[in-house]
Amino acid sequence: MSTVTPLRFSVRWGSGVGAENFRAAAILAEEGGFDQIWTGNDLFRRSGVIPMTLALDATSTIHVGSSVLNPVSMHPAEVAGIAAALQDFSGGRFILGLGAGSEVFLPWAGIRPLSPVERTRRGLRAVRALLEGGSPADVPGSGEGWHPAAKLKDGATLPTPIYLGVMGPKLLQLAGREADGVIALCLPPTRFHWVKEQIERGSGGERPFDLGCGLWVSIDEDRSVARRLLASAIARYSGSFSTDALEGAGYDPEHFAAVQAKVTDGDLEGAIAMVDDDMLLMGIAGDANEVTDRCLELIEQGARHISFGNPLGADPMQAIGLLGKHVLPVLRKEHS
């Protein structure tokens, strides 16, 4: 008899959020029925470790994730030590998110890392070995120079799921082979099918895996406010999308380049005006009914984990409240 994977919902608040704000968001998300809440830990931003600690202390059921710690500017032994401490402290509710680190920010720190795939693979294998009580010296592909005595000294910790925060095909396939889950940005949401295909190429579709469909979401009781906020986000990041991704989703890369040129020239209003209805489909924007309908489409297509991320709303706390009160109950009811 086949079983249906239960739905899972998470909310992501990016790097630099204040510790008290994230603590309050975690409480609200738990009350609203979210399964997970994530915050970032980008280089040259406020650390996400303290906000995560406060969030775990203030809640009792929701899982809290790091999106992401990178094992380049943070040594894998330090990453493992932080993860072990948070896992013990929370009674098993911490999720370790790992990633390659920024190609922009790492050089700012004088770091010239290996390729994203290689450094992520090494970090993942080394951190997992340490969290499982072993030494990376005994795990091929964990990097050079590890001593057999390189083990966490405080005893066994609770099992720690490791997710990757990745986008490219090779990293998604790595996640499918070796990680426990992924929060993958699906921009636009129709990219979910491509992401799923890459994961299954790595995993063979034969191992438990949590594929978080990461969305840009903007929700407001006034749909025009929500749409403008998402348009602003798309305009500001219009130059960050790869040509292949845009063409694969049916977009004209030259139009996105023109929007980016407006932003670069300091004309954000002009750039926002160029974001048309088709471009708004890069994310999900509107009132609760519109957001619900778009998420239902994804669930019908096979998504089992919807991850709501920035910009969320003009007031992120209000947005989390709206999602928890008006969107999640409908999605769970329709697919219980």
Domain that holds residue 123: 8-218+285-334
Give the model's pLDDT for residue 1.
36
The better pLDDT of the pair 262, 242 is held by: 262
Give the model's pLDDT for residue 102.
84
In a domain, 127, yes or no: yes
pTM assigned to the model: 0.94
- On average, the pLDDT of the chain sits at 94
State the DSSP H helix or E strand holding residue 308, giving kind and residue range, or none if neither.
strand 305-312
Q: Which of 3-7, 51-55, 163-167 has the lowest mean pLDDT?
A: 3-7
In a domain, 231, yes or no: no
| 164 SS3 class | strand
**Which is nearest to 212 in space by CA: 161, 248, 246, 250?**
161
Q: List for the chain the helix, strand, coil content (%; round to 5).
A: 50, 15, 35
CA 126 to chain centre: 21
In a domain, 149, yes or no: yes
User: Is residue 51 predicted with pLDDT exceeding 60?
Assistant: yes
Average pLDDT over residues 165-192: 94
User: Is residue 65 predicted with pLDDT exceeding 90?
Assistant: yes
Give the model's pLDDT for residue 135.
97
Give the model's pLDDT for residue 241.
84
Q: What is the pLDDT of residues 75-107, one digit of tens each?
A: 999 999 999 999 999 999 999 999 998 888 899
In a domain, 75, yes or no: yes
Strands (E), 47-135: 63-66, 94-98
Task: Please state, for a pLDDT cut of 90, what percent of the chain lies above it.
Answer: 86
In a domain, 249, yes or no: no
Based on the structure, what is the number of domains in the chain?
A: 1
Average pLDDT over residues 225-229: 97
**Which is nearest to 211 in space by CA: 305, 74, 275, 109?**
305
Give the model's pLDDT for residue 2.
42
Q: Could you give the CA distance from residue 181 to residue 65 in angstroms, rounded to a whole number? A: 12
Query: Residue 49's CB: how many other CB atoms inside 10 A?
Result: 17
In a domain, 103, yes or no: yes
- For tokens 């999308």, the residue is 241
pLDDT band at 3 (very low <50, low <70, confident <90, very high): low
pLDDT band at 18 (very low <50, low <70, confident <90, very high): very high
Q: What is the CATH number of the domain that holds 100?
A: 3.20.20.30
65: β partners? 38, 95
In a domain, 277, yes or no: no
Are the CB atoms for 320 and 30 separated by under 8 Å? Answer: no
In a domain, 320, yes or no: yes
Q: What is the pLDDT of residues 115-156, one digit of tens each?
A: 999 999 999 999 999 999 999 999 999 999 999 999 999 977
Average pLDDT over residues 3-13: 88
Cβ-proximal residues to 60 (8 Å cutoff; 6+ apart), any chain:
30
Q: What is the pLDDT of residues 249-306, one digit of tens each?
A: 899 999 999 999 999 999 999 999 999 999 999 999 999 999 999 999 999 999 999 9
Give the model's pLDDT for residue 248.
84
Are the CB atoms for 32 and 41 separated by under 8 Å? Answer: no
Average pLDDT over residues 19-35: 98
